[in-house]
Structure 1
Amino acid sequence: MRLATYEHGGTVRAGVVSGDGVHAFAAGVTTLDLARGGLPAALEAGAAALGWPAVPLAEVRLLPPLEPPSIRDFVAFEEHVEGMVAPGSVPPEWYEAPTFYFTNPAALVGAHDDVPVPPGSRSFDFELEVAAVLGPDAIFGYTIMNDWSARDLQRREMRVNLGPAKGKDSATTLGPWLVTADELEPYRDADGFLALAMRVAVNDVEVGQDLLSNMGWPFEELVAYAGRGTRLRAGDVLGSGTCGNGGCLAELWGRRGEEQPPPLQPGDVVEMTVEGVGTIRNTVVPGGVLPPVRPARRRPRNRLQPERT
């Protein structure tokens, strides 16, 4: 079942997507509510909603499928690490345990929304991922995730051994909808991974393609690791991290030693398709102009107590 959040006629609703369009749930019901209630109840509610008239998809604006409590983004593809971090090799620490960072739930954009270039960035990039959404006791569903990245800002931040921060928090696309976990079980391979074909194109020219089953850990193990020593909540989003073989421009730059293909520019259209899930297509637009960031003051490290009168 495909669950969407959409805007139509100035009203935001959650609904079930069919071949006829999107069928609304009762007013006030959100996709996050459905995730919190668990998959069996959501499937039952979705089946009932399919009995209501549909609004054609061409008449709605698809929003991010849900407003998650948190977003963790992993780096689960060995080939991506090999291209990004150390071309030709992978740090041994990567193999020891999954690694993730937290990104900004307030910066989500929809499947076809415009995406501004972050302020101050001249090296804008996409990242092709799949994200899992948690239910109360298991993975509830999956969606496509584009972890938009300002590589120049990110590189500066990472040199301080902290982050990423502003290099990542301007926009994250989730969409086009949330596919419930039962729909993707037929794609599971003998090792427990979802063998979904993933593709990304810029201006209708394919840049990268991979299989989701090339992850180093299945999603269930990412969930288990994320929950060690802490509490996960229904609706939490866990990104797979960028796939290999051109899942982002920076991986190609690392392998080629130059920024080719070039960074994204206003007017570029990035389209991502994941088998069994759908397609998202966002246009890059100019960002806002902000004043330069004020650098830290340089000062003597005086340890003496100042005199007071």
Structure 2
Amino acid sequence: MKLATLKDGTRDGQLIVVSRDLRTAAIADQVAPTLQRALDDWRFYAPQLLDLYDALNQGRARHAFNFDARACMAPLPRAYQWADGSSYVNHVELVRRARGAEMPPEFWTDPLMYQGGSDDLLGPADDIVCASEAFGIDFEAEVAVITGDVPMSVTPDDALKAVRLVTLVNDVSLRNLIPAELAKGFGFFQSKPATSFAPVAVTPDELGGHWREGRVHLPMLVHWNGKKVGQPDAGTDMVFHFGQLIAHAAKTRNLRAGAIVGSGTISNKDAKRGYCCIAEKRCLEMIEHGEARTEFMKFGDSVKIEMLDEAGKSVFGAIDQAVVPLHEAAGA
């Protein structure tokens, strides 16, 4: 089934069920008011939401309305956990090659992961707000999963059983702030602003055969200012599957229902598939030409991130955002 969160003037929004073709939706308040409530007792709420989903797809849902992705918040507008991995080791290798650094062998066996801000997650059409272009504004197209409760020291196989929903992410990065932060030896903070999410989160069964071995086997389409710059396959070259990423995050702690775990920037070894972040394009330029030639995003730029099925239909809806300066942002 497909779920989303409608803007309703509150911090957590209103849970809605969305039809398979993303054309119609129905309020789910008779089942659960928010997605977090549903995740907290998934075994109880999921069958009821599925009944509503089936009714919606069959045209039997009462008070169904036209679905508008721009009216959506992030599926979880604020979450108890947002942990982003780096499972496409090709991306990490390119970054290190571009600066002449060797690739530690353990990067192929032990995932990288950082803990991002989860109190202010952006919807699919919310602006990317930044105080300065000099920060080096970059998009990062990723897949993410939303989990149920995960016990400490879970195995990767059992961790996969905790995946409740799958969605897409734009893990915005401020590249020019990263070097100074990492040099302090304490990780990302200012260089990782609010993360953006696709309008719809789907249960793994909705993906059919495209969900296997803990990976989503579909191309990630990325358009920058209306030009397609990437279509790498999310299942190809994903070294660590989501079960491994979740198990890594839960090695020394429990994860509670509503935890979000990201794949990291999707990257294929085949450079002809394009890129999911500008930094990777710049790394390829540095390796080939000795210098980066592509600039980061400017105010007024737009980015669109989406996955289509084999019939060309959007699976999660699109992340479609513009970059705006802080002084022009709503509420500034």
Match of 2:171 in 1: 147
Tell me the residue number matched to 2:311: none
SS in 2 for 1:16: strand
Shift of the 3–59 alpha-carbon distance from structure 1 to 2, 3 Å rule, reads closer
Q: Counterpart in 1 of 2:62?
A: 52
1:7–1:60: 8 Å Cα contact kept in structure 2? no
Distance in 2, matches of 1:159 and 1:128, equals: 25
1:194 partnered with 2:216 = yes
- 1:256 is matched by which residue type in structure 2? E
The structure carrying a bigger helix percent of its residues is 2
Given the two structures, how large is their TM-score scaled by the length of structure 2?
Answer: 0.79
CA distance in 1, matches of 2:228, 2:7: 30
Question: For residues 1-309 of structure 1, what are the structure 2 equivalents within 5 Å?
Answer: 1-7=1-7, 10=9, 12-18=13-19, 19=21, 20-26=23-29, 29-38=33-42, 41-48=45-52, 50=56, 51-58=61-68, 61-66=71-76, 67-87=78-98, 90-119=103-132, 121-136=134-149, 138-168=162-192, 170-189=193-212, 193-213=215-235, 214-244=237-267, 245-257=274-286, 258-275=291-308, 276-288=315-327
Instruction: Quickly say closer, same or farther: Cα 1:266–1:43, change in 2 above 3 A.
Output: farther
The residue identity in structure 2 corresponding to 1:98 is P
The CA distance in 1 between the partners of 2:69 and 2:322, in whole Å, is 19
Native 8 Å contact 2:144 2:262 kept in 1? yes
1:106 Cα shift? Answer: 2.0
Shift of 1:184: 1.9
RMSD: 2.3
Give the match's secondary structure for 2:220. strand
How far is 1:192 from its partner?
A: 5.0
The aligned amino acid for 2:197 is L
Asked whether the 8 Å contact 2:16–2:27 carries over to 1, the reply is yes
Judge conservation of contact 1:122–1:263 (CA < 8 Å) in 2: no
- Superposition misfits of 4+ residues, deviation over 6 angstroms: none
The letter for the 2-side match of 1:263 is F
CA distances 1:22-76 after superposition (whole Å, capped 9, x unpaired)? 2101166111111222267324324236323222224961100013101000011
The alpha carbon displacement at 1:281 in A equals 0.5
Gaps spanning 5+ residues in structure 1: where? 290-309
Q: Which runs of 5+ in 2 are unaligned?
A: 151-161, 268-273, 309-314
**Secondary structure of the residue that 1:164 maps to in structure 2?**
coil
Aligned match of 2:157? none
- Measured in 2, the distance between the counterparts of 1:216 and 1:155 equals 25
**Structure in which a larger fraction of residues adopt strand:** 1
Query: Structure 1 CA distance, aligned partners of 2:148 and 2:208?
Result: 16
| TM-superposition CA deviations, 1:106-164 (whole Å, max 9, x none) | 23110011111245743110001011000236100111110101101112111222211
**What amino acid is aligned across from residue 25 of structure 1 in structure 2?**
A
Q: Distance in 1 between matches of 2:122 and 2:96?
A: 28
**Paired AA for residue 283 in structure 1:** A
Find the residue that maps to 1:86 and give its secondary structure: helix
1-side partners of 2:283 and 2:276: how far apart? 13
Taking the aligned partners of 2:131 and 2:95, their CA distance within structure 1 comes to 21
Deviation larger for 144-153 or 119-128: 119-128
SS at match of 2:186: coil
**1:86-125 alpha-carbon deviations (Å, 9 max, x no partner):** 3486331211211100000123110011111245743110
